[in-house]
Chain A
């Protein structure tokens, strides 16, 4: 059997107006971050349903990060405030169930913060990689 090098799989939900643009800026400035990070564009961080996060873990993601505009800067004025509450509660619940805290994160990244986006992704990928494979929220049927 061939031993494969462990690479974490990370899903990043980015709001269209700030964080997705921040990711584009990271690209424009050629700032590297691991290819393990795959971005899904959503109109606003408040579009992210906890079900999507669980779905990602089920399908084999090792970490899920949600990026939105800084509080106060939401394109829709209040979306990220709701995100903040939802995710604080969801992450607390996942921790309560014994799921590793480092597997989930919310980060506010503005359209001007390309460097922050890349740094955040590097840091998050590193932390998730250190945890190893997601065993506690896995669905074996979805494994390769």
Chain B
């Protein structure tokens, strides 16, 4: 259950639109199903009244949308940002990807978003309606009704939430949270402790599921390239569909490398993957290594910070020494 009610956000959005403070609102729109909530640009107050949603399914991170939306916008855009979204927001500002002047950012607290797949594991298919109250109430077309505790079905990224603090906003609604100690690297460590054969088998299995739908790339706030190398016939790695296991790996290695040091660990890649590949484990590996090799660095923590891959010290660890003390 989110602490801030939808009505406060709706009221705020409508008043800002009416006052002419902003010309459009980036928010979550009702989808075909109650759990299927889509990012949308609202310009009409009735539309907001009827279709704006704020509940436990509003996982989408709007930062990336600002890149395109601010280019066309005549006036300011109102955007709602959860704490983890603000890191992406800052990272994009660091990379000069949108004009800060064109955005009015409202920070809203987040109690964690739920994972519909975990709900479906409990209820089975055929969900007809979901109501997010104190409990998540699910009705199915078979007449079953479930009351589920949101904390039991939180998405992985929210269980390992790294921060409830907003690092950027013009206005904050609700209370400010804090940067949290999370166990987000535990799974990476677990993989590191496997034998190379096990790791290879794990990733071969995971990555072979990839259907190259590009959802991970399209949602990723760090993947805002004007033209992606995988779409560019002259890049040498152009690849529309993975033909074999090499290309499956290549896509994900290169993608992870391109966002290394810039990835804020927002977890959108894993959220949108239709094949449920734990893509965040690739990004987190880089984050964990960066923290370990070069000192802790959180992308997006502050605007203008120098990402680890565009930085160095003369005392950096040698590539030959990175496995010291690890024998597998």
Instruction: Scan B171-206; emit 1 where CB is below 8 A from any A CB, else 0.
Output: 000000000000000001001100011111111100
Choice from B188, B254, B256, B312 contacting A54 with Cβ under 8 Å: B254
Task: Closest A residue to B260 by CB, please name it.
Answer: A89
Choice from B192, B204, B317 contacting A88 with Cβ under 8 Å: B317
Interface contact A71-B192, CB-CB below 8 Å = no
Asked whether B102 is an interface residue with its Cβ less than 8 Å from the other chain, the reply is no
Closest Cβ–Cβ distance, residue A38 to chain B (whole Å): 18
Given the complex of chains A and B, what is the CA–CA distance between A137 and B250 in angstroms? 9
Q: Which A93-109 residues have a C-beta within 8 angstroms of B?
A: 93-101, 105-107
Closest Cβ–Cβ distance, residue A89 to chain B (whole Å): 6
Instruction: Scan B225-267; emit 1 where CB is below 8 A from any A CB, else 0.
Output: 0000100000111000001101101100110110010000000
Residues of chain B within 8 A (CB-CB) of A137 are: 246, 249
Interface contact B316-A51, CB-CB below 8 Å = no
Interface contact A89-B314, CB-CB below 8 Å = no
Given the complex of chains A and B, what is the CA–CA distance between A107 and B285 in angstroms? 24
Interface contact A139-B293, CB-CB below 8 Å = no
Closest Cβ–Cβ distance, residue A87 to chain B (whole Å): 4
Asked whether B289 is an interface residue with its Cβ less than 8 Å from the other chain, the reply is yes
Interface contact A98-B323, CB-CB below 8 Å = no
Residues of chain B within 8 A (CB-CB) of A106 are: 318-320
Asked whether A144 is an interface residue with its Cβ less than 8 Å from the other chain, the reply is no
Asked whether B104 is an interface residue with its Cβ less than 8 Å from the other chain, the reply is no
Interface contact A88-B191, CB-CB below 8 Å = no
Asked whether A81 is an interface residue with its Cβ less than 8 Å from the other chain, the reply is yes
Residues of chain B within 8 A (CB-CB) of A36 are: none
Given the complex of chains A and B, what is the CA–CA distance between A41 and B247 in angstroms? 26
B interface secondary structure, majority: helix
Interface contact A95-B254, CB-CB below 8 Å = no
Q: Which A74-122 residues have a C-beta within 8 angstroms of B?
A: 78, 81-82, 84-101, 105-107
Residues of chain A within 8 A (CB-CB) of B188 are: 96
Q: How many A-B contacts are there with CB distance less than 8 Å? A: 114
Asked whether B309 is an interface residue with its Cβ less than 8 Å from the other chain, the reply is yes
Provided the pairs A84-B318, A86-B309, A139-B244 are in contact, do residues A97 and B286 lie with their beta carbons within 8 angstroms?
A: no
Asked whether B322 is an interface residue with its Cβ less than 8 Å from the other chain, the reply is yes
Q: Which B283-328 residues have a C-beta within 8 angstroms of A?
A: 285-286, 289-290, 293-294, 308-314, 316-320, 322-323
Asked whether A132 is an interface residue with its Cβ less than 8 Å from the other chain, the reply is no
Binding site for B on A (CB under 8 A): 50-51, 54-55, 57-58, 71-72, 78, 81-82, 84-101, 105-107, 136-141
Binding site for A on B (CB under 8 A): 188, 191-192, 196-204, 229, 235-237, 243-244, 246-247, 249-250, 253-254, 256-257, 260, 282, 285-286, 289-290, 293-294, 308-314, 316-320, 322-323
Q: A51-B229, A51-B237 given. 5 additional CB < 8 A pairs?
A: A71-B314, A92-B285, A93-B253, A96-B191, A98-B201
- Can you name 21 A-B residue pairings with CB atoms under 8 Å? A50-B253, A51-B229, A54-B237, A54-B253, A58-B250, A81-B314, A84-B319, A85-B294, A88-B317, A88-B318, A88-B319, A89-B257, A91-B322, A92-B322, A93-B285, A96-B191, A98-B197, A101-B196, A101-B323, A105-B319, A139-B247
Enumerate the 10 nearest inter-chain pairs by beta-carbon distance, A residue then B residue, closest first.
A98-B200, A81-B312, A98-B199, A139-B246, A106-B319, A87-B319, A88-B319, A98-B196, A97-B203, A92-B289
